Amino acid sequence: MMIRRLVVWLAASVMLVHAHAGQPSAVQLASVYAAVASLDGDQLQVAKHADRQVPIASITKLMTAMVVLDAGLDLDEYLTVRPREQKLGKTAWTRMRNGSQARRGDLLHIALMSSENIACDVLARHFPGGLKAFVAAMNSKAKALGMDDSVFFDPAGLSPNNRSTAADLVKMVRAAYQYDRIRDVTTSTFHQVTFRKPRYSLQYGNTNPLVRSSRWDVSLSKTGYLSEAGRCLVMVSEINGEPTILVLLDSLGTRTPIGDAGRVRRWLETGDPGSIAVAARNYERERTAAYRVDAVSQNGSVQ
């Protein structure tokens, strides 16, 4: 009996290794595009349409943060809040009062943690050379990181023309992880900003509920949403004792990327591929069909 159990255990172990090594996309995901990789590794452990260039919404803000921090600007300097300079056809609602002032570091904090769109515009316009120079710096940074299939048009991610691939975003997350401030800010749960002229305070919360979960060890996080991009989530979390990058793009519902994160973790830990709802499968078919039509009209081919 003991020998038989040992044989069964060994066979299951071999099957699990096979599933991880030979079928990197075997896990069932509701996100239309996805990539998962070890923080220190070169190979993707999960790759679902990971080379397709698609809108990335507020995932953009990780690039914005790196450009701000690379410039070495004074994070304690007060910047004036003004209406958005770019007209992108998208509403950027904000609780910040027009004409009031906040520290650059606080604006960076709420841009990353709470996805405050106007804060990104303020940061970009107070960059040497202004907004145009800031966007150019974003694209230069992407090129330096080897993000060859990525392009940026605005610092907040409100433009659907901000596009990248899941594979490229693994590179961006890996680079962003090297910044202590980005790791600290994106995993904080709440932050209070005190403005001046006039003086008032606002409380902000993290858009990723997993940073507050005792079941997750999240060390970097960013969410995003546009109608063109769907629900998006990128993060770094320890799985099987190893920091792991998760990139989940274009999901149907608010909680869907959270569910996908759980499916990825379960698959990496146990080999269980999980399952997804019929509605998610239908959504993926619709988005994939739309992607193919768009790709053919633009390039004459589909990746």
Catalytic center residues: 58, 61, 115
The residues with which 42 forms a beta bridge, in sequence order, are none
Sequence letter at residue 41 = G
Q: Report how far Cα 240 is from the mean position of its chain's Cα atoms.
A: 21
Written as six digits, the tokens of 136 are 């150019």
Is residue 252 exposed (0-12), middle (13-18) or buried (19+ Cβ within 10 Å)? buried
Please count the residues of the chain.
303
Could you tell me which of 216, 169, 190 has the C-alpha nearest to residue 66?
169
Query: Which string of b and e fits 53-72 if b means at least 16 CB within 10 Å?
Result: bbbbbbbbbbbbbbbbbeee
Beta carbons of 276 and 30 less than 8 angstroms apart = yes
Written as six digits, the tokens of 271 are 């080999």
